[in-house]
Amino acid sequence: METKYIFVTGGVVSSLGKGIISASLANLLKTRGYRVTIQKYDPYINIDPGTLNPYEHGECYVTVDGHEADLDLGHYERFTDIRTTRANNVTTGRIYQSVIDKERRGDYLGKTVQIIPHITDEIKRNIMLLGKTGNYDYIITEIGGTVGDIESLPFLEAVRQLRWELGRDSLSIHLTYVPYLAAAKELKTKPTQHSVKELQQLGIQPDILVLRTEHEVPLAMRRKIAQFCNVSPEAVIQSIDRPSIYQVPVMLHEQHLDEIVLLKTGVTPVDQPHMGPWLDFLEKMDSAEKVVNIGLVGKYVELQDAYKSISESLFHAATYNDRKLNLVYIHSEKLTTDNVDATLHDLDGVIIAPGFGQRGIDGKFVALKWCRENDIPTFGICLGMQCMVIEFARNVLGLQAANSTEMNPSTPDNVIDLMEDQKSVSNMGGTMRLGAYDCNLTPGSKAACAYGTTTVSERHRHRFEFNNEYRARFEDAGMKCVGQNPDTHLVEVVEIPGKRWFIGTQYHPEYSSTVLSPNPLFIDFVRAAIAYGEERDTRK
Ligand code: GLN
């Protein structure tokens, strides 16, 4: 079949969950047997979110091919098991960069280079790229931002043109908000009407409306919206708040969203989606009664999106271990030797978060010393693993001033040091060690047992690494390097075999955990945390 293009826009307010709706629709189409992918267009000037502080747009996600991407790509992967790449996330910055490069090369043959047609053509060319591979039946394109923003205008103009050119092979889904006014005890449809008018003024008639709401939108109200907005009544879908984002595909399917999408793109639905494994996961989620308490020590705890992939991976792992997840965010800047015991002693397991720079680092060392000495299941990720190494160097090897050269370039014991090929790097954007690399695990190590294999591939995002000159001293003292890159011998995983579960990974296993294919290291960590919690409780 011809590739079909589905455009997802949002109106009224931001943060309505376009990413979750797009991922849920992709999930449904995939379980119906269609070949699907999702791409996100972000209207900001940054080339990618790699240089953005997590306070801006939350976590920076990393694709297997080493692209620093919007966190929505994480949702896409977790909901669909699709592996996204650089082509699935494009920003205004990338569009402009490529147009300006062409202009400098003289490709425009002396013409004035303008937003229309040159920027819009470049957007269209990019949107169609994945379709040209012939690998997909449906390509869902999420346009970031909110309709009415100045910066999303060129994207919406490109969508308008594509809809005209593609005809029935394209579809527009618009997500809006239906607020509930508590004082009037009423749901209000006017913002939705205005937002659709705004979209229509830009020449885009939505085919499907998804109404984000905290209360049930009555049928009569949905009909009224349909009438005002030129949308067929069955295509006004409500997206009512659910306890878990993973229930959204089911909620949309119950309102026939997937079927409507097929019919409106000229495809006859022949079967129902095969949602069995997904429903099994939800069933496990609902039936879990006991709780596992995990602490996450990091410096961005005010904004939980900063650790999105970690919290989702823990949620997957808790669910498969028949537990509800109680994730406690612990501010590393506030953790001291005076309060560490009170803060951590009720937890079943502790994660030391990734990060950059000095801020909050001392709290991570305090947490790690306490966890190591009290033998609590502990999982260090990227900077968290580097902190494990530094803490061990200081307090076990007696190298008091050991550090990463990221924190102290003149440390006498640079147990974590800049990678050789990073020393000449001056640009910050896209220059880290990024994307998936192979790792060989030592047979019999806890990490290898967790994965059930000795060769894995996981994604990276860092500049610094374990300094192999210190390796023998660490191993002699009990911290083993049990994972290494087969080509470069960079240390990827450290563990203390004598402890219940004390593992640090230089890579980010959280990027590869999905609902149907949870990451084995997280599963094993949560299993160890549960076992420890039960053991501690019986001792009480
Ligand atoms: N700041 C560290 C480095 O660059 C760790 C990065 C991270 O945690 N993602 O190596």
Predicted pLDDT of residue 438: 97
The residue behind tokens 């299941």 is 377
Nearest residue CA, atom 3 of ligand 1?
Answer: 462
Which of 60, 371, 382, 481 is catalytic? The answer is 382
Strand-pair partners of 187 = 180
The verdict on whether 151 is a catalytic residue reads no
* DSSP conformational letter for 354: P
Q: How far is the CA of 331 from the centre of ligand 1 (A)?
A: 18
What are the CB-based long-range contacts (under 8 Å, 24+) for 253-257?
A: 253/28, 257/25, 257/28, 257/208, 257/210
Q: Which residues contact 292 (CB under 8 A, 6 or more apart)?
A: 318, 321, 323, 324, 325, 326, 348, 349, 526, 529, 530, 533
Q: How far is the CA of 367 from the centre of ligand 1 (A)?
A: 18
First to last CA, the chain: 64
pLDDT in tens, the chain (540 residues): 899 999 999 998 887 899 999 999 999 999 999 999 999 999 999 888 888 888 787 899 999 999 999 999 999 999 999 999 999 999 999 999 999 999 999 999 999 999 999 999 999 999 999 999 999 999 999 999 999 999 999 999 999 999 999 999 999 999 999 999 999 899 999 999 999 999 999 999 999 999 999 999 999 999 999 999 999 999 999 999 999 999 999 999 999 999 999 999 999 998 889 999 999 999 999 999 999 999 999 999 888 899 999 999 999 999 999 999 999 999 999 999 999 999 999 999 999 999 999 999 999 999 999 999 999 999 999 999 999 999 999 999 999 999 999 999 999 999 999 877 777 777 777 788 899 999 999 999 999 999 999 999 999 999 999 999 999 999 999 999 999 999 999 999 999 999 999 999 999 999 999 999 999 999 999 999 999 999 988 887
| Shortest-distance atom of ligand 1 to CA 355 | 8
Predicted pLDDT of residue 271: 85
Strand-pair partners of 176 = 211
Q: 257-264 and 18-31 are packed helices; what angle lies between their axes, rounded to 10 degrees? A: 80
Q: Which residues contact 372 (CB under 8 A, 6 or more apart)?
A: 378, 391, 392, 395, 496, 499, 502
The residue behind tokens 């690494």 is 465
Q: Strand, coil or helix: what is 418?
A: strand
CB 500: neighbour CB atoms within 10 A?
A: 17
Tokens encoding 355: 């990060």
Rg (CA), the chain: 25
Whole-Å CA distances, 362 to 40, 379, 406, 463:
37, 17, 14, 20
The residue behind tokens 């490709």 is 107
To test the pocket of ligand 1, the residue of 405, 461, 490, 511 to mutate (highest count of ligand atoms within 8 Å of its CB) is 461
Whole-Å CA distances, 207 to 148, 159, 199, 236, 260:
19, 13, 12, 9, 10
Nearest residue CA, atom 6 of ligand 1?
Answer: 462
Residue 237 near residue 257, CB atoms below 8 Å: yes
- Characterize the bridge pairing of strands 4-10 and 170-178: parallel
Residue 59 near residue 108, CB atoms below 8 Å: no
